[in-house]
Amino acid sequence: MARKPLTKPRKYASQGRSRATVDALIEATARILVRDGFDKASTNRIAEKAGVSVGSLYQYFPGKEALVAAVMKRHGEELMQVVRDALAEAAALPMEQAVRALVVAAMEAHRIDPRLHRVLAEQIPRMGRLENTEVLNGEIHALFRAWLDAHCDEFRPLDLGLAAFVCVTSIEALTHTAVVHHSESLSEEAFGALVDEATRLVVRYLQ
Amino acid sequence: MARKPLTKPRKYASQGRSRATVDALIEATARILVRDGFDKASTNRIAEKAGVSVGSLYQYFPGKEALVAAVMKRHGEELMQVVRDALAEAAALPMEQAVRALVVAAMEAHRIDPRLHRVLAEQIPRMGRLENTEVLNGEIHALFRAWLDAHCDEFRPLDLGLAAFVCVTSIEALTHTAVVHHSESLSEEAFGALVDEATRLVVRYLQ
Amino acid sequence: MARKPLTKPRKYASQGRSRATVDALIEATARILVRDGFDKASTNRIAEKAGVSVGSLYQYFPGKEALVAAVMKRHGEELMQVVRDALAEAAALPMEQAVRALVVAAMEAHRIDPRLHRVLAEQIPRMGRLENTEVLNGEIHALFRAWLDAHCDEFRPLDLGLAAFVCVTSIEALTHTAVVHHSESLSEEAFGALVDEATRLVVRYLQ
Amino acid sequence: MARKPLTKPRKYASQGRSRATVDALIEATARILVRDGFDKASTNRIAEKAGVSVGSLYQYFPGKEALVAAVMKRHGEELMQVVRDALAEAAALPMEQAVRALVVAAMEAHRIDPRLHRVLAEQIPRMGRLENTEVLNGEIHALFRAWLDAHCDEFRPLDLGLAAFVCVTSIEALTHTAVVHHSESLSEEAFGALVDEATRLVVRYLQ
DNA sequence: GATGAATGAGGGTTCATTCAT
DNA sequence: GATGAATGAACCCTCATTCAT
């Protein structure tokens, strides 16, 4: 029996007061993560910022990691919604436009909250197997792979798994790096140019 | 007045014993980082593993961060050597082979010490602007850009900076993800296939 | 003004539901005390195990100590019943058989619930003068003394108080140590032999 | 690998400064144990009373229990010295005087520091197998048994182990209860009378 | 230079108790 | 009466860093 692999909330509070407390805690965690980084996000500080006592924090979360996991989950769901929508639209578009739509979606997903995204991305590896993150990642690969499969007659012969890995990883890296590390130095046009290039990268790779 | 922007060794020890102490400390840090992760790497532990007293540690490094920075620097230099060599060779090769050589070099660079690479990669962001890392990153971009420039007549018209960003970021992401996150599940053949794909990705993008 | 000398139930609940709640709480406390020890017996845990809310717990008991005191009282009453019965019987027996009956009774009293007895015995001192315990102890001494008094013509001249102290303390210690600390390593025969020895100890002392 | 069964000092400090710190900590622990009881003896409080930082406490002891164990060890050694000396003397005395000497020794042992003895006695059971205590207890039984063995021709036929248990347990209980629980209400004469009675109890039992 | 004992702020966590609903 | 969310003082413990020797 592992001593503390707990990254799940203790209660799935759904009634008013509880729910508000939980939300305040998650929100506070996200804010502190953004403002001060993971290391400064102590349970006491989070509780204080949430306007709640430490005791309440521990009533709902078994520790700091669970809070960060909750933030990740929340953020991940927002991300996935963007990505899912984009892939749904992409189904009906001609290939190049479809790819472009995906790239744009990836960019938008990163732009939902770039600072938070960054901190979370950096902490994921340190948090001992976040199933949630892996699930999302897996879902993206699966969705993209399905899209490839549906359009495979438009491409050269592909190893779908490998191609999905190459495309998803590249798009992710390009949009992530641009948004997370160069947001301040890039103009809107530069982002536009990057979308063009990323699209070309993927399209030509698949052809 | 910044409280702790100190990430540089206190002395550029070059005489025998000092140098040995410094090396032992860096080595111990690297080993603990790999074995136990950043959080478990306390200065006392590092000093002990290095066979040195904490006091001595602080004689050569202003703090824990400086030690990690030193490890990063050392690792970064090894990385850069591989990359530099590859780019030097690439200069004389026909384009596709050149790109392949670069991809292989990136893979090799990540494989020098994947566990260490991973820990360092994860810690970089937490360590307030490591000039060193950014310099190396900058050098890679510059080198690649120079290579692009030298071969620009073989490509379509390119924005060199943007193209370098796209290529370097993609190659980095693909090799990093493969080596750091999937080393255990990928066969040699799979790595070979990935090299092929990454090469194709870049070559077709540039044409 | 003493801060927490409260070891008495808040209500002498006698109506059905209340009484059931109180009983459930005492029972839960006893069980947790036995299973997990005093330190793990938190009020929340007790309430939960009793199938009651913490709030209700505090409606009937002013605090944790009061619960333990209630358990002690309940256990003490069971003990005393055994002892009283034995002394009542002993009145009619010839001296040696009477002593033996008392020793056996002491043994049985300790065996009612040895694990609980042990935990309680260990906790008594930490609970600031439990009148109850002292009362019981006093009663035992008084009863025994009365018995001595009634049979004093069969003994050498005695300081009754002192003799009662010596006998009661010795019998208590022998049976307590045997049952509480050596139950697992002693056979039934060994217990029988111990009864013989304790009886001899007391009889010869009194003669 | 048990997580915290550590009741041993971390370092057997013997040089000046360290030794002084360790002593101060043990002394402070003993004093707090006496003044406030086990539950109030927090590591921070002990450190403070010892005029030392918590950090230092943890440099030498892995936790509160180790400190208490150290106090027990120190106290136990004092006790044993008294008991050993008495038994050594007793070897040369006629039986009744020998028993009396032992009873007196037991009394003196309890009187070394009755308040401390009491707290320790109460805490022993809660501290998960204190080898030290059991060893001492075992030594006392062994010594007494050896004495019985050496004088067995003066007694009725005995099961030596059982007889040692009966005698040691009784003497211990009588002296312990008298000293620890009734010190304030008993005069010197009363103690003298008790010694007489305890001696008689044991002597007549053995004859 | 080297040593390592000492420091103490600060982090994680629990639990007896209260009180609005 | 009953509930259980909320509280927060108090605990245990770690570790970067200093400084007398």
C130: left (phi over 0), alpha (psi -120 to 50) or beta: beta
Chain A from 13 to 72: CB within 8 A of any B CB: 37-39
Q: Residue D46: inside a domain, yes or no?
A: yes
Number of domains in chain C: 2
Put simply, whether D118 touches C (Cβ < 8 Å) is yes
Our answer on whether B and C touch (3+ beta-carbon pairs < 8 Å) is no
CA distance D100 to chain C (A): 15
Q: Residue A115: inside a domain, yes or no?
A: yes
Who's near A173: CB < 8 A, 6+ residues apart? B169, B170, B172, B173
**Among B122, B126, B201, whose Cβ lies nearest the Cβ of A170?**
B201
Q: Residue C92: inside a domain, yes or no?
A: yes
Does residue D75 sit in the same domain as residue D149?
yes
Rounded Cα gap, residues A190 and A187, in angstroms: 5
Does residue B146 sit in the same domain as residue B162?
yes
pLDDT of C9: 61
pLDDT of D4: 47
Rounded Cα gap, residues C132 and A18, in angstroms: 42
Q: Which nucleotides of F are covered by protein (CB under 7 A)?
A: 1-20
Average pLDDT, chain A: 89
Q: Is the CB of B69 under 7 A from strand F?
A: no
Any chains having at least 3 CB pairs less than 8 A from chain A are B
Tell me which of C28, C49, C65 is where a domain ends: C65
What is the CATH number for C29? 1.10.10.60
CB contact under 8 A, B197 and A170: no
Q: Which residue is nearest to nucleotide F5 (CA to C1')?
A: A18
Question: What parts of chain C have a pLDDT lower than 70?
Answer: 1-16, 125, 128-131
What is the CATH number for D116? 1.10.357.10
Q: Per-residue pLDDT tens for B23-63?
A: 999 999 999 999 988 888 999 999 999 999 999 999 999 98
Please give the residue of chain C at the shortest CA–CA distance from D206.
C201
Report residue D9's pLDDT band, with 50, 70 and 90 as the boundaries: low
CB contact under 8 A, B197 and A125: no
Q: Per-residue pLDDT tens for A154-169?
A: 999 999 999 999 999 9
Rounded Cα gap, residues B124 and B117, in angstroms: 10
Does residue D200 sit in the same domain as residue D181?
yes
End-to-end CA distance of chain A: 51
Report residue D178's pLDDT band, with 50, 70 and 90 as the boundaries: very high
pLDDT of B183: 87
Put simply, whether B162 touches A (Cβ < 8 Å) is yes
Please give the residue of chain D at the shortest CA–CA distance from C158.
D197
Does residue B30 sit in the same domain as residue B122?
no
Q: Residue A10: inside a domain, yes or no?
A: no
Q: How far is CA D206 from CA C160, C199, D90, D160, in A?
A: 23, 13, 16, 10
pLDDT of D44: 96
Rounded Cα gap, residues C206 and B196, in angstroms: 101
CB contact under 8 A, A122 and B122: yes
Q: Residue C8: inside a domain, yes or no?
A: no
Q: Residue D28: inside a domain, yes or no?
A: yes
Does residue D61 sit in the same domain as residue D74?
no
Angle (nearest 5°) at CA C41 between C40 and C42 = 100
Q: Per-residue pLDDT tens for A134-153?
A: 788 889 999 999 999 999 89
Does residue D155 sit in the same domain as residue D125?
yes
CB contact under 8 A, C197 and D118: no
Q: Per-residue pLDDT tens for C127-177?
A: 765 667 778 889 999 999 999 999 989 999 999 999 999 999 999 999 999
Does residue A140 sit in the same domain as residue A79?
yes
Does residue C38 sit in the same domain as residue C124?
no
Q: Is the CB of B41 under 7 A from strand F?
A: yes
CB contact under 8 A, A201 and B166: yes
Domain hosting residue A154, numbered range: 71-206
CB contact under 8 A, A126 and B122: yes
Interatomic separation, CA of residue C65 and C1' of nucleotide F8, rounded (Å): 21
Does residue A186 sit in the same domain as residue A97?
yes
Does residue A75 sit in the same domain as residue A132?
yes
Residue A99, classified by CB atoms within 10 Å of its CB into exposed (0-12), middle (13-18) or buried (19+), is buried
Angle (nearest 5°) at CA C124 between C122 and C128 = 140
Q: Residue A82: inside a domain, yes or no?
A: yes
Across A103-136, b (16+ Cβ under 10 Å) vs e yields bbbbbbbbbebbebbbbbbbbbbbbeebebbeeb
Concatenated DSSP letters of C171-182: HHHHHHIIIIIH
Residue to mutate among B166, B168, B195, B199, with most A CBs inside 10 A, is: B166
Interatomic separation, CA of residue C120 and C1' of nucleotide F1, rounded (Å): 31
SS3 A38: helix
Tell me which of B6, B38, B65 is where a domain ends: B65
Amino acid sitting at position C88: A
Does residue C89 sit in the same domain as residue C53?
no
Any chains having at least 3 CB pairs less than 8 A from chain B are A
Q: Per-residue pLDDT tens for D126-163?
A: 776 566 777 888 999 999 999 999 998 999 999 999 99
Assess whether pLDDT exceeds 90 at residue B1.
Answer: no
CB contact under 8 A, D122 and C122: yes
Q: Residue C164: inside a domain, yes or no?
A: yes
Does residue A82 sit in the same domain as residue A141?
yes
